[in-house]
Structure 1
Amino acid sequence: MTTVRVAVAVPRIRIAQPMENAAACLELIRQADSAGVQIICFPQLCLTGFTAGDLLCNRLLLDETARALDLLVSETAHLKPMAVIGYPARDVGEAKPYNAMAFIKEGRILDNRLDTSPPSRWFLPADPKDNTDTTDIINLFKTEGIDCPVSLLFPLEKSVPDSEGIILCPSAIEGRVGALKGVELKLGKLTEGKRCAAILASAGEGESSTDYWYPGMAVVAENGKIKTSRSPFCGLEICDITVGRSHKRVMYEYTPIQDVDYKVARISKDPFMCGDTERKAREAFMIQWGALRTRLENTGINRLVLGVSGGLDSTLALLVCVKTLDMMGLDRKNLTGITMPGFGTTDRTYNNALSLMRTFGIDWREIDIKEACMLHLRDIGHDPDLHNSAYENVQARERTQILMNVANDIGALVVGTGDLSELALGWCTYNGDHMSMYAVNCGIPKTAIAPIIRYAAENELEESVRPFLNDVINTPISPELLPGGNITHRTEEIIGPYRLHDFFMWHLLNERLNPKKISTWAAHIFADEFTPDEINRWLKVFLKRFFSQQFKRSCMPDGPTVFGISLSPRGGWTMPSDISSAIWLKDLE
């Protein structure tokens, strides 16, 4: 048995800036050298950033990456650790690069391992024969008293030909609820009952938060047990592991591991928040403010604009904005909250909006939109007594216009408030509340919003806001677009209960069930609340709206995936905007 000192290194990178990223990697290697580390594992593509997109095929970026790698190699001439670093490797004559990991030690590249089934369309698949055992690495470890193989596993879903010794797992894992727990389960299973250890480094700070947030992960597992697990993480995590060569060869084949949460979700009325609700709320809230912080840091913007109505969605977005500024060490006055009373605004939501903004100490404004909306209705020749969709949408678009123009005026980013359930149903005004510069709630289903607000109120924010937050949670959901003085325009009476819609969404998109099975399953789960006819009625509404409203999702703003379901057209959910729902409705009949 041999004790080896290893390290997980997650540098703070800048997308498409290889020289800066190489310098960040070099600093971590130097720190590891000072601590006596023998092997250091970096994330995938850390010289360019995992989220560089089509630029990963750009020749200028690839050439700059090659120069950065050469510089990094030369600067490690007097450093002892073997560093395993991810980068896109250009092959002369090919239009696409390989997803590669370089084994670097003391001024030499000992080996380049190429991904045989790369994670995206931007890479060429390597021939497995190109990844044979490297004599230099084997001999090197033997001379240092480490008589065990070193395997490379990226991503985790692949098989490991020899799961003894040291397994390096360079990764780029999106932050989502339960992600770290899933990684721990996989690495524990991978090393269980074997004389081996797995070392995982996952992409972190600096990666784009366009549709996913990369929190950074440092996880080390040995013989089925987790020795260290940190996320969010940026920096160097050092750990001593004990490994050895067994007498028999062990083959590990990946099999999907469904954690307890997932199994419970399949039979739950609340598939998104069932199980450990507090943990899920904590992780979801962290993903939201972490993603927004990343967007601000990457763009250099330090001011935010938010419409605050006093409803659930805008309240959660307000909490996310406040937490983000606090975590960045910025003044809360950098957030401009604007409440915009319209034709249907009630005293309850209006007062809650004002109370929250004042209590948090943000910069706040009140802009009444009724006069502007009446003027616009006159301009387009619309009778103000005709309360149709034009009457309602004029208000939503007037509010968005105000938010966008104020943001332009003060150099800020408009934070969107729409949630995942509204996106699935298309329950938003096209180019109104549908649009923003970053949508922090787009990965949060409606049924998760109240639990997240409740968690944040009790654990993350000052006690003085709790009475107002509790009242927001207890306020009926309404767009408040029709006059009347009280909340008479209740969303769930129009489109159906969000509990059912979130159940339908989870099983349609996660389980890929057909409508008939979803209906049968819902009738069983919700037997004490809804009749089969009621369930079928609202499932038809969901299906019709889900298919007909795709055009809104086709141009939705950036925002983080939180629970593993994304409706973003950039890689979450792709579907034609003019598709028919006929066969799905027929299946339900």
Structure 2
Amino acid sequence: MPALRLAMAQINPTVGDLAGNSTQILEKVQQAQDLGSNLVLFPELALTGYPIEDLALSQDFLNDSGKALEALTKELAKRGQGHIRVVVGHPALAKSPTSWAIGQNCASLIFDGKVQASYAKHHLPNYSVFDEYRVFVPGDQLLTFEIDGLRFATVICEDIWQSGGPVSQIASHNVDLTLVLNGSPFERSKTDTRFELVSDLASKQSTAVAYVNLVGGQDDLVFDGNSFLIDAGGKEIARAKQFDTDLLVVEIESKNSIKPVTESTKTQTDLAQVWNALVLGVRDYVRKNGFKSVVLGLSGGIDSAVCASIAVDAIGAKNVFGVSLPSKYSSDHSLSDAALLAKNTGLVYSTEPIEPYVEQFVEKLKLQGLAAENLQARIRAVVLMAKSNTDGHLLLSTGNKTELAVGYSTIYGDAAGGYAPIKDVEKTLVWDLARYRNELATKQGITPPIPETSISKPPSAELRPDQLDQDSLPDYAVLDRILELHIEQRMSESEIIAQGLDATTVESVIRLVSISEWKRRQSAIGPRITKLAFGRERRLPITRWSK
């Protein structure tokens, strides 16, 4: 008897696009058939996209999803692919709804023109970016099935992150290969975490494991794909691409005898992963929301240079519109650096001096000090939004995570925008990414996109004469360290000081973080790359007492 072939289909669905997602599924099944596959595995909620959030509370949406699953089943049979077993993720109406949820997060086995069996996710995450316990009803039964003497089990994502539930029954069912459907968002270092988790499952349940993940951007989440398969001994057999669709095919004789059919991909370096996550996040937010182009202000500084370079990599230079918006405080090198960035990347470049508008406002409103400084940023936002409205561009906000943390931005000014590419990137990492992207260009034999002077010069908002960021903030290396300990590691002020950092500086930074919540609450979303980003997973009251 020939060995069974499993195809792991890594697709990029769009939430709610049932027809488009079904087309992607059918295309991958066809590719899998061409490679002799008997079984095709798709990611979590592949039919609807993930996460569907409160769409799971809509009976109409769940009914439409059920109809799409039925249509997919019939189409597979019509195409002569009914003999191929297909495991696909989708939501469904729960037979026993709760007082707060009516649907379940399911995986169904399609074969011979109909749905043969279904599994409902047991462990529903209610932490970090996840909110599934509120919108889904948990399942409690393990799904197993047999093909040519090999036994398979099906579970979904969080089921393998928690103990107990159907996963604990895998060994007792003598499962050869566990199929894990995932919607696991990217964050730095998560590749190692996933591998350790899957290896532990393989060891404890004596099973090979196929881990298939979504790829693509969905609002502030980026799914990196990076699907993989290990045998029962914990050895990695095959790995799919990161940040791209893929079809990974393996040949299975037993849980300990599996070999790759298609080519595997090595995991990217840390900086490459971050860069590609940001590029994919921008590309899919633009594409899936119907935009064709973006616009952003080019100051000549590092943040706008990195954002512009990400955008060019994401959607092409001809679709990126960069605008220099000089005031009387803009330095010559800022103007020349912005122009050089445009030349290096090939983006569409224009200049709109703001001084005539600034003078009129200052004179009419008698502005001075901070009000006059912030006015410049707000006029720039007006110009950029005018271009956005006129030409249909998506406005990119170029602020980084460090600035967002301490409120070092002008609300309704440089903070304005529909998407923020480096919202979850601290300032020191922005510099690292700039160097990485330039080094990559050099290796490819092309002009580095980011001017060296944008990387090396001291950062400045240039809203007043001789202004530098460090006039108002600690050194960025120190600041980012404090913020990482306080935000991502959730350390208290005393714990951070105990790390050897200056007490006065720590107290000042934590206070700035506390009083800036109102700005963060109004900021644009952007791709998440860390364990704790500003957004859905960090919810603090705006109105609260502070020292």
Match among 355, 360, 372 for residue 375 of structure 1: 360
Please tell me whether the aligned partners of residues 239 and 248 of structure 2 are also in contact (alpha carbons under 8 angstroms): no
Distance (Å, rounded) in 2 between the aligned partners of 1:354 and 1:463 = 21
Q: Which whole-Å deviations, capped at 9, do the CAs of 1:499-547 have from their partners, x for residues lacking one?
A: 1221112112222221101111134xxxxxxxxxxx1121111111101
Specify the code of the residue in structure 1 equivalent to 2:26. L
Alignment of 1:214-253 (within 5 A): 214-222=223-231, 223-230=233-240, 231-244=242-255
Alignment check: 8 A CA contact 1:195 1:243 kept: no
> Closer, same or farther in 2 for the Cα pair 1:402/1:170, shift >3 Å?
same
Which residue in the other structure is 2:481 paired with? 503
> 1:4 offset after TM fit, Å?
3.5
Identity of matched residues, %: 22
1:196-223, Cα deviation, whole Å (9 max, x unpaired): 3211111224x52x11112333211122
Q: Which one is further off, 439-448 or 26-35?
A: 26-35
Residue of structure 2 equivalent to 1:409? 390
Aligned to 1:312: 302
Q: Counterparts of 1:436 and 1:100 in 2: how far apart (Å)?
A: 36
What's the CA shift string for 1:452-495, capped at 9, x where partnerless? 00010110477675496221111001111103xxxx31212322
Separation (CA, whole Å) in 2 of partners of 1:496 and 1:460 = 32
8 Å CA contact 2:411–2:519 kept in 1: the answer is yes
The answer as to whether partners of 2:341 and 2:450 remain within 8 angstroms in 1 is yes
Q: 1:4·1:242 contact (CA, 8 Å) conserved in 2? A: yes
* 1:473 alignment counterpart: 455
Return 161-170 or 391-400, whichever deviates more.
161-170
C-alpha distance 239-562 of structure 1, shift in aligned 2 (>3 A): same
Gaps of 5+ in 2: 126-131, 258-267
Structure 1 residue aligned with 2:262: none
CA 1:465–1:537: 2 relative to 1, 3 Å: farther
Alignment counterpart, residue 354 of structure 1, candidates 328, 332, 339: 339
Please list, as runs of the form range in 1=range in 2, the aligned pairs for 1:13-412 lying within 5 A after superposition: 13-77=13-77, 78-91=81-94, 94=97, 95-119=101-125, 120-128=132-140, 131-132=141-142, 137=145, 140-141=146-147, 144-146=148-150, 148-155=151-158, 156-159=160-163, 160-161=167-168, 162-163=170-171, 164-192=175-203, 196-205=207-216, 208=218, 210-222=219-231, 223-230=233-240, 231-244=242-255, 279-326=269-316, 332-382=317-367, 386=368, 388-412=369-393
Partner secondary structure for residue 338 of structure 1: strand
Query: What letter matches 1:407 in structure 2?
Result: S
Cα deviation code 1:333-359 (max 9, x no counterpart): 322211111132112222111121123
1:538 to 483, 490, 505: 505
5 Å-filtered alignment, 1:486-501, equals 488-501=466-479
For 1:444 and 1:431, the matched residues in 2 are separated by 21
**Partner in structure 2 of residue 482 of structure 1:** 464
Q: 1:107-145, CA deviations, whole angstroms, 9 ceiling, x for partnerless residues? A: 2322211112223145333252xx1566xx2xx43xx22
Cα displacement (A) at 1:192: 4.8
Scaled by the length of structure 2, the TM-score of the pair is: 0.88
Pair 1:359–1:218, CA change in 2 (3 A)? same
Residues 578/150 of structure 1: CA separation in 2 closer, same or farther (3 Å cut)? same
Whichever residue aligns with residue 162 of structure 2, its letter is: K
> 1:266-308 CA deviation, whole Å, 9 max, x = no partner?
xxxxxxxxxxxx9222111111111111012112322121111
* DSSP-derived class of the 2:16 partner: coil
Q: SS of the residue aligned with 1:345?
A: coil
Task: Return closer, same or farther for 1:149/1:64 CA change in 2, 3 Å cut-off.
Answer: closer
Tell me the number of residue pairs that the alignment of Structure 1 and Structure 2 aligns.
514
| In structure 2, distance between residues paired with 1:467 and 1:411 | 25
Indicate if the aligned counterparts of 1:57 and 1:122 stay in contact, CA closer than 8 A: no
Tell me the distance in 2 between the aligned counterparts of 1:572 and 1:522. 29
Where 1:214 maps in the other structure, the secondary structure is strand
1:2 CA displacement: 9.9
1:432-471 → structure 2 map (5 Å cutoff) = 432-460=413-441, 465-466=447-448, 469-471=451-453
Where do 5+ consecutive residues of structure 1 fail to align? 247-277, 327-331, 524-534, 583-589
* TM-score relative to the length of structure 1: 0.82
What is the CA–CA distance in structure 1 between the aligned matches of 2:269 and 2:64, rounded to whole Å?
42
Name the SS of the counterpart of 2:193 in structure 1.
Answer: helix
| One-letter identity of the residue aligned with 1:203 | L
Give the counterpart letter for 2:533 in structure 1: S
Matching residue of 2:543: 578
Q: Secondary structure at the match of 1:213?
A: strand
Tell me which residue corresponds to 2:518: 551
Residue aligned with 2:7, SS: strand
Measure the CA separation in 2 of the matches of 1:182 and 1:245. Answer: 23
User: Is 1:4 the equivalent of 2:4?
Assistant: yes
| Matching residue's letter, 2:72 | L
**C-alpha distance in 2 between matches for 1:121 and 1:187:** 23
Q: Deviations over 1:58-105 (max 9, x none)?
A: 222111111111122233445223222111111367342011111222
How far apart, in 1, do the equivalents of 2:421 and 2:500 lie? 29
